[in-house]
């Protein structure tokens, strides 16, 4: 039977309507399988403005409102956060996510390393770092660190008042640079170090924004990035000009250059510089701040230190190696507890294939994010999670660097930070030396962490002034009595 034109139009209209309804149902069903999504009035911008104001708080508020898995749309990216144990396990172990894909994007934007150069050298660099900074290679660095720390402690004078974060940076910046890059480079020039600090702070401050957004949006950040790239070009030339003939005399920079064989040297050296600086200063600051702000903990730490080195050492500097550091377990507990409380706001992977977490399907292309800061506040693993309790680490085997369950301050799965043992030794040694050499009196309460950033160890939100005074030593006391 042949339909009239009017009837045919009606059937066509009904068919299109039915198809739209079916498509809508399937679309809803598909999107209902995805995590709850937090956007904004402007699709590309999404929730970026809310996220930028206080990202740590925004993540926790979203978790409370939407549950353990949720997606935030921001500046054209889908950021899917996982906040519980199931999500954490998937983050570290799933084969559907890729760490390198995200790191490649970051390095291309922040250090101008193209995709081909990145994949050509990244795995070789990581293996070299794991080898050169393994637990059984710490003897390569301990003596030099000890000498360098004492040299720069002397610049502080006998006593003074200073912000604790600046106090730490004044010592650690040149020491870390000299140890990893060598004294033969231009980085030992104090004027150059001051310029480096200025540009590094700008680069570090906007690092996570530069990693995601076009460079032209951050002119000061871009200027500092290119200043640092030019600097590391000069550092590389200095290192190559003073290339040691013996392997034992090589710095980590020399080993990095050997591994790169000329491939994107400036870019990779900038990443190396950033990684060596960005977390160690805040971690040392928090360790000292938490210790000296609590008299009972300060007293216990000093009793341990003096039991190992004595109450006075004459005019000679104490020598600290890995053996001496192993005799300071309470101090290490304090450092690990500080790292727990001030871990990064987020670490990241890229979802490569659809993956299931809980009842949700997370689509390819999502940036999968997990927050060590909030995971370390799980009362199942850390009772009274907001309290600084070094004694909780007695349950761990810290002598063998086996940490507490639930602690992910150095990563997890198969991708731990390759420099974690060196960072721990740097912090452990400097905290011990500062407490041994100086009496520290806090003038301000311990500040909260800054809530403006997610990447890297969290920095203080405000000042933390201290008075420091060199401890009277036995030899000088005896001389005063004789005179």
Kind of pairing, strands 37-38 and 69-74? parallel
Residue 401: partners with Cβ closer than 8 Å, 6 or more residues away: 135, 421, 424
Instruction: Give 75-136 as a DSSP string.
Output: TTEEEEEE-SHHHHHHHHH-TTEEHHHHHHHHHHHHH---HHHHHHHHHHHHHHHHHHTSGG
Which residues face 82 on adjacent strands?
Answer: 69, 370
How far is Cα 362 from Cα 34, in angstroms, rounded to an integer? 6
Handedness of CA 416, 421, 276, 243 (dihedral sign): negative
Residue 479 token pair: 């001389």
Task: Give the C-alpha separation, 403 to 394, whole Å.
Answer: 10
Locate the DSSP E strands across 343-428.
Answer: 347-351, 355-357, 360-362, 367-370, 411-412, 415-416
What order of strands is seen across the sheet that includes strand 438-442? Answer: 159-163, 465-470, 438-442
Q: Contact, 80 vs 35, CB < 8 A? A: yes
Give me 400's structure tokens: 């063998």
The number of C-alpha atoms within 13 Å of 65 and in the hemisphere containing its C-beta is 12
Distance spanning both ends of the chain, measured CA to CA: 126
Q: Return the structure tokens found at 396.
A: 């761990």
User: What is the DSSP code (8-state) at residue 251?
Assistant: -
Place of tokens 């480079």: 185
> 457 — phi, psi (to 5°)?
-60, 140
Put residue 152 in one of left, alpha, beta given phi > 0 → left and psi -120 to 50 → alpha.
Answer: alpha
**Is 109 annotated for ligand binding?**
yes
The DSSP output letter for 186 is: G
Task: Give residues with Cβ within 8 angstroms of 31, minimum separation 6.
Answer: 37
Backbone phi, then psi, for 411, in 5-degree steps?
100, -165
DSSP H or E stretch at residue 160: strand 159-163
Question: Helix 252-260 crosses helix 219-241 at what angle (to 10 degrees)?
Answer: 90
Task: Give the dihedral sign, CA 196/285/444/466.
Answer: negative
On whether 183 is known to bind a ligand per the annotation, the reply is no
Which residue ranges are tagged as binding site for heme? 417
Which residue ranges are tagged as binding site for substrate? 109
Which residue ranges are tagged as binding site? 109, 417
């Amino acid at each position: 039977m042949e339909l009239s034109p009017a009837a045919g139009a009606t059937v066509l209209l009904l068919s299109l309507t039915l198809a739209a309804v079916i498509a809508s149902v399937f679309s809803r069903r598909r999107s209902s399988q995805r995590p709850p999504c937090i956007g904004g009035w402007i699709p590309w911008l999404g929730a970026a403005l809310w996220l930028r104001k206080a990202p740590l708080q925004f993540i926790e508020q979203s978790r409370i409102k939407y549950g353990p898995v949720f997606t935030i749309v921001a500046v054209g990216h889908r950021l899917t956060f996982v906040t519980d144990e199931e999500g954490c396990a998937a983050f570290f172990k799933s084969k559907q996510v890729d760490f390198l894909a995200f790191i490649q994007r970051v390095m291309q934007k922040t250090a101008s390393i193209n995709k081909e150069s990145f994949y050509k050298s990244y795995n070789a660099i990581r293996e070299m770092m794991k080898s050169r900074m393994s637990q059984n290679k710490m003897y390569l660095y301990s003596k030099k660190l000890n000498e360098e720390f004492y040299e720069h402690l002397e610049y502080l004078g006998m006593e003074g008042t200073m912000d604790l974060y600046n106090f730490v940076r004044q010592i650690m910046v040149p020491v870390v640079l000299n140890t990893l890059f060598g004294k033969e480079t231009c980085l030992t020039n104090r004027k150059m170090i001051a310029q480096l600090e200025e540009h590094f702070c700008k680069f570090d401050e906007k690092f996570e924004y530069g990693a995601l957004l076009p460079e032209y949006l951050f002119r000061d950040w871009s200027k500092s990035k290119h200043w640092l790239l030019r600097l590391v070009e000069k550092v590389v030339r200095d290192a190559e000009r003073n290339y040691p003939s013996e392997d034992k005399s090589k710095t980590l920079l020399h080993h990095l250059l050997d591994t790169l064989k000329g491939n994107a040297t400036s870019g990779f050296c900038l990443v190396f510089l950033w990684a060596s600086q960005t977390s160690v200063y805040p971690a040392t600051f928090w360790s000292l701040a938490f210790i000296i702000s609590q008299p009972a903990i300060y007293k216990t730490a000093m009793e341990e230190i003096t039991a190992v080195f004595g109450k006075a050492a004459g005019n000679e500097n104490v020598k600290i190696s890995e053996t001496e550091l192993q005799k300071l377990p309470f101090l290490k507990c304090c450092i690990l507890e500080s790292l727990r409380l001030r871990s990064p706001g987020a670490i990241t992977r890229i979802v490569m294939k659809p993956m299931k977490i809980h009842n949700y399907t997370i689509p390819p292309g999502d940036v999968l994010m997990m927050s060590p800061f909030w995971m370390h506040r799980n009362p199942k693993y850390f009772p009274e999670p907001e309290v600084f309790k070094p004694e909780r680490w007695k349950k761990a085997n810290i002598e063998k660097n086996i940490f507490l369950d639930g602690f992910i301050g150095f990563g997890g799965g198969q991708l731990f930070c390759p420099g974690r043992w060196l960072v721990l030794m740097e912090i452990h040694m400097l905290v011990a030396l500062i407490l041994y050499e100086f009496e520290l009196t806090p003038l301000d309460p311990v500040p909260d962490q800054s809530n403006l950033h997610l990447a890297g160890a969290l920095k203080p939100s405000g000042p933390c002034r201290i008075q420091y005074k060199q401890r009277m030593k036995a030899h000088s006391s005896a001389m005063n009595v004789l005179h």
